[in-house]
Amino acid sequence: MDLTYTQEEQDFRARLREWLGKTLPELPAKPSPDDWPGRRAYDCGWQRRLYDAGYAGLHWPVDAGGRGATPTQHLIFLEETERAGAPYVGANFVGLLHAGPTIAAEGTAAQRARWLPPVLRGDEVWCQGFSEPDAGSDLAALRTRAVRDGEDYVITGSKIWTSHAEVADWCELLVRTDPISAETPKHRGISWLAMPMDAPGITVRPLRTLAGSTEFAEVFLDEVRVPVANRVGEENDGWRVTMVTLSFERGTAFVGEVVACRRTLGELARTARANGRWDDPVLRRRLGRLYGEFGALWRLTQWNVSESEASGGVPGVGGSVFKLAYSHARQELYDTVAEVLGADSLALDGEWALDRLSSLSYTIAAGTSQIQRNIVAERILGLPKGR
């Protein structure tokens, strides 16, 4: 018996493990990586299975449609689904891990009732419209403009790196509702909107990544009308709402990936033993250090999830510590993959090659490492801002 878990938590793990053992063999074959409509259908089908079995939204509060599970049960769910090789959230990533939790924390009762149940059931997919071509890592410098016209905002501008825009029903969109001026600093005058992706005036152009995938897109907005009722939070208070979104993105959205990296590290050690690379003491020390780093990251994950629960469901700035450390540890892990596999690591059809290419983006995605260092320095350590 594992004395770190209660009997209720051990029973939860046993039921989940049994359900996964019965359900995973029934899943259809995974679609091609380039078949985004097929991938959407596959990911949403898995989400529906989770919903019907009572495992959807474990980390969401009950009044938002979630299951009200404890932080430990949430972590057990992540451990067991990764151990069993279950599908990841995939195209449901933004809705389940960013937009949904933000609406649960900041939305009205009507907004929760409209948008959260379809996310949990896998009926609707969300994308993220935050970054812009001219803003770089300075998100507050966004220029996409929303002008009030009666009960609508009329939106003009463009977004880039819009996750899953090709197959999304909704977009969590940041717009400028008050121009930057001497009286309005750039962090003010921003609003957070839910934009229907079938609205007239929206053009989506997929972007092909280094790994050959097209999960990102450019989105062009030409006088797109979005109801004022779709605004989450007050007008011009979107930067504060955005900080809630980013706290989920950095604090708890990557927890499943930490489990996956720990599994990859174990497989890498076995591969090194099989191909003779294990005889290199420098490599063994590197693997041992990575084992310690990912173990520490898992403990930090547990702390972040517990803190989120204690603070009403919203993670704190500790998410920036996690995101900063995790991004670099993941890159080093896949650099070590290349060291163990040698030339085989360059084969794009290899087991870890695409993951290695993807790892290069992690010090940029969800806020660059430079931004995370600023947050840690100023908000956690209390250091003065640079002049």
The kind and range of the H/E element at 147 are: strand 145-149
Q: Is residue 82 flagged as an active site residue?
A: no
Candidates 61, 32, 56; CA nearest to 214 is: 32
Residue 337 dihedral angles phi and psi, to the nearest 5°:
-55, -45
CB atoms within 10 A of CB 35: 12
Candidates 287, 292, 321, 295; CA nearest to 307 is: 321
- Of residues 80, 106, 124, 249, which has the active-site annotation? 249
Integer Cα distance of 327 and 349 in angstroms = 24
Residue pair 57/121 in contact (Cβ under 8 Å)? The answer is no
Residue pair 226/129 in contact (Cβ under 8 Å)? The answer is no
- Tokens of residue 318, six digits: 């500790």
Integer Cα distance of 193 and 4 in angstroms = 42
Where b means 16+ CB within 10 Å and e means fewer, 303-341 reads ebbebbbeeebbbbbbbbbbbbbbbebbbebbebbebbb
Q: Give CA angle at 322 (291, 209), nearest 5°.
A: 90
Residue pair 113/121 in contact (Cβ under 8 Å)? The answer is no
Catalytic site residues?
249
